[in-house]
Amino acid sequence: MMEYIRVTHNFPPLFAPDSRILILGSMPSPKSREQAFFYGHPQNRFWPVLAAVFGEVTPQTIEEKRALALRHHIAMWDTLAACEIKGASDTSIRNPEPNDLEWLIAQTQIKAIFCTGAASHKYYKKLCQPKTGIEAVCLPSTSPANAAWSKERLIEAYRVIAEV
């Protein structure tokens, strides 16, 4: 049986001064922490979905992923700075500590926030929104564990990002 481990976010947010959109996960998966970059699991559909929303080729390298996000004025981080978690299971999160999103927002032009999944949204609303004052939109998770959502349905749901 998998044990709880204490996890601390181990890489910085991705942003530029002209970032207008913030996309938040909950806590990086073990694979993402290993790569020190967002949505690092090869089965996660985040990068193919985001590329499709903007009519671009799916980025393969971290540098290509970084460039895609920044080209579209997207900042990325996670709602949580630390928590106890079993593997990559968002539903197992306990003792969550939020990231300093007010600091990030002050460095940018962020006007819209999107959470990739229910856990990110739940912790954002509870721990971060009272400080940022910005309501977040909850998008479906792109994790392979969210098999109920096909890639095509995810692309339709994520199109709201391009409309901002």
The one-letter code for the residue type at 3 is: E
From the list 67, 54, 21, the residue with the least C-alpha distance to 159 is 54
Residues of the chain with pLDDT under 70: none
pLDDT of residue 66: 98
Q: Is the pTM of this model over 0.95?
A: yes
pLDDT of residue 106: 98
Q: What is the pLDDT of residues 40-56, one digit of tens each?
A: 999 999 999 999 999 99
pLDDT of residue 8: 95
- Both tokens of 78, joined, read 């996670």
Question: What is the C-alpha separation between 62 and 46, in angstroms, rounded?
Answer: 13
